[in-house]
Structure 1
Amino acid sequence: MALIIAPVLFAASTFFWVNGEYGIAAATFGIISLFFWIPALTGLFSLLKNKMPRYATYGLWIAVFGCISGVCFMFLGYLTTIFNISHSAYLQKLSEYPFSSQLLLFATGPLFPLSLLILGIILFRTKTVAAWIAILLCLGAIAFPASRIPRVEWIAHVADVLLLVPTMAIGFSLLKNSKTAIQEKKSNLANDKI
């Protein structure tokens, strides 16, 4: 379910940008979406646990840190809106704390889309998912920073759709497979009782 909920909430957040900034509504949707992105990423990386166990573990670890950085960015937008702090004013203030600002925001911000890009490439190379799913995931990962850094809304909507379609396709596929597995277990239990 997280593979469906996370990108839907993330896409919804973009509709609430205020002059290219995360305001109260956009930040709220975005933070909740990133809460769901963590189990969604866990599911995506677990697709590779048999083929590439080390990458599945360490890649997930880096992707989760990217989610945490995303939460920091969105919470920053939330607070700057509440306290009516301009973009230039908060950037100037953040420059006074270069190490923590880089660690929590600027240097780690690209980890989320970079993780998705590498994941998409590996899913494609290992043929773990259909090629079109892996390609869309890669395109979404590339479009993500291209929209979020300059804060161009139409590119952000494109990036959101490019991430939404493949993750939802995987999510629905996993839900279908789990329902089939549950039905088979019930059938086997019924046969065992007979």
Structure 2
Amino acid sequence: MGLLALRRASLVLGPLLLAASTFFWVDGRYGVTGGVIVALSSATWVYGLVGAWEHLHTRLPAAATAGLVLTLLGTLGGIAFGLQGFFEGVYGITAGESLSAVNQHPVAAWLALWGPGPLFPLSLVLLGGALLWTRLVPRPLAVALLIAGAAFPLSRIGRVDLVAHAVDALLLGTSAWLAACLPSRLPVLTACPQEGSGKPHP
């Protein structure tokens, strides 16, 4: 399987796993099975999203760099929240008990959960905006990605099953559409010149 095929598969499988995890919620929490699936979703999805940012680097280098950082940190948050749900289920910890325990370690909790968590949907919003600006994909796709990124945290804060399923479906459809629209090649980068020579490397 080629590099492009792997990226496209990542952009489909990642949100598909996220959508599947919602069906395993236990009283609005991820639970053992759902938590593992969420962690796998984040680890899978990031590869395709990084590939999308690479296509934008030559046109919007600053935004692409920021987007890559947000995506990677947001992935850390997604994995952390998934594992939190897993351990809550394994040890039979309620939501209140879990929150109380986490609040005893505010700095670590912020670095692992509260800080990185919102960065993933923010990275999707930024990606949608960058794609809209550069017109590398159809405008409806870029707008849909913007909306999906903004809606994702709202669906998790409220923990309403129907809302979460709807947002999951939007994320899956948008990311799969993005996979289909990925260019077949990355922009060609110029060779770095040798120091002091002004000539490219052989």
Question: Where do 1:123-138 residues align within 5 Å?
Answer: 123-138=131-146
Letter in 2 for 1:64: L
Counterpart for residue 93 of structure 1:
101
Alpha-carbon displacement from aligned partner over 1:50-85 (angstroms, at most 9, x marks no partner): 201232123112211111111111101100100001
Letter in 2 for 1:21: R
Question: Where do 1:25-104 residues align within 5 Å?
Answer: 25-104=33-112
Q: What count of residue pairs does the alignment treat as equivalent?
A: 177
TM-score norm. by structure 1 comes to: 0.86
Which residue, out of 173, 188, 202, partners 1:165? 173
Letter in 1 for 2:130: I
Matched, 1:105 2:113: yes
Q: Secondary structure at the match of 2:82?
A: helix
Alpha-carbon displacement from aligned partner over 1:94-148 (angstroms, at most 9, x marks no partner): 1111111111111221000011011111211211111111111111111101111
Stretch deviating more after TM superposition (145-154 or 166-175): 166-175
Aligned-CA RMSD value: 1.5
Letter in 1 for 2:106: P
Question: How far apart are residue 152 of structure 1 and its match?
Answer: 1.6
Stretch deviating more after TM superposition (111-120 or 151-160): 151-160
Residues 125 and 150 of structure 2 are in contact (CA less than 8 Å); yes or no, is this contact kept in structure 1? yes
TM-score norm. by structure 2 comes to: 0.83
Which residue, out of 11, 19, 28, partners 2:27? 19
Residues 17 and 37 of structure 2 are in contact (CA less than 8 Å); yes or no, is this contact kept in structure 1? yes
Gaps of 5+ in 2: 1-8, 186-202
The CA distance in 1 between the partners of 2:143 and 2:57, in whole Å, is 20
Structure ranking higher in helix proportion: 1
The CA distance in 2 between the partners of 1:173 and 1:133, in whole Å, is 9
Residues 88 and 98 of structure 2 are in contact (CA less than 8 Å); yes or no, is this contact kept in structure 1? yes
Alpha-carbon displacement from aligned partner over 1:126-185 (angstroms, at most 9, x marks no partner): 11111111111111111101111121221111211121112111213348x47xxxxxxx
